[in-house]
A and B are shown apart, each in its own frame.
Chain A
């Protein structure tokens, strides 16, 4: 149980393109999803917390107009990297929490490797 599916797994596109990444909870409802970014050989950095039906909460230093997050249903959150540039190239990982309470564990998707040429 508690499977999180992320799509696509790999994207290569030209600079200036907008890229959408989907994060789905397959067998549970997720009121809260999280988006992380990981640069090579580095740790995961939380970008934003996505709550179903409300605006995402962004971490300090993350541009909300650059990284658009939509959490329109209890099983789907999307991250759109708008007008992507080479410095946006990274490994993006989503996670979903199984319940309403913050003490419940997060389950991670398989990640999306984004390469901007």
Chain B
């Protein structure tokens, strides 16, 4: 059974600081997704990572994938209040029958 674990689950940080959210998964997969969820809202797609060593960046967020370690990271650079949300990683693809398995989510609060 595929398990996806995120760390930390809760993160409170000050504006301007950097931090990394980690996503570990238990079995081989060929794609990893990062999503953002604001309170009471659905998911917003951030990144899709398809291969070992993949790195994608959008604004202050950068995601990377190490398939050998079964690890993805979401790095936040110079955080701003608008980044406050819950971030989920999800693993899926051919080997999981196209179903997505989500991590527990990381609730990020950026304080002014």
* Contact pattern, A 13-47, Cβ under 8 Å of B = 1, otherwise 0: 00000000000000000001010000001111110
Determine if A105 and B48 form an interchain contact, defined as CB atoms under 8 angstroms apart: yes
Show the binding face of A for B, using Cβ within 8 Å: 6, 32, 34, 41-46, 49, 93, 97, 102-103, 105-111, 113
Counting CB contacts under 8 A, is B66 at the interface? no
Determine if A49 and B103 form an interchain contact, defined as CB atoms under 8 angstroms apart: no
Counting CB contacts under 8 A, is B88 at the interface? yes
Determine if A46 and B94 form an interchain contact, defined as CB atoms under 8 angstroms apart: no
Give the distance in Å from the alpha carbon of A103 to the alpha carbon of B31 in the complex. Answer: 8
Choose from A43, A103, A108 the contact partner of B94 (Cβ within 8 Å): A103
* Further 14 A-B residue pairs, CB within 8 A, beyond A49-B99, A102-B92: A41-B107, A43-B88, A43-B102, A44-B88, A44-B90, A44-B102, A46-B100, A46-B101, A49-B98, A102-B97, A103-B93, A105-B33, A106-B100, A109-B42
How far, in Å, is B58 (CB) from chain A's closest CB? 15
Jot down 23 A-B pairs with beta carbons below 8 A, ordered by A: A32-B98, A43-B104, A43-B105, A46-B99, A46-B101, A93-B42, A93-B43, A97-B98, A102-B92, A102-B93, A102-B94, A103-B30, A103-B94, A105-B33, A105-B45, A106-B100, A108-B35, A108-B43, A109-B42, A110-B41, A110-B42, A111-B41, A111-B42
Show the binding face of B for A, using Cβ within 8 Å: 30-31, 33, 35, 40-43, 45, 48, 88, 90, 92-94, 97-105, 107
Give the distance in Å from the alpha carbon of A34 to the alpha carbon of B43 in the complex. Answer: 14
In this complex, what residue of A is CB-closest to B88? Answer: A43
* 5 shortest interchain CB distances as A-B pairs: A102-B98, A111-B42, A108-B43, A43-B102, A110-B42
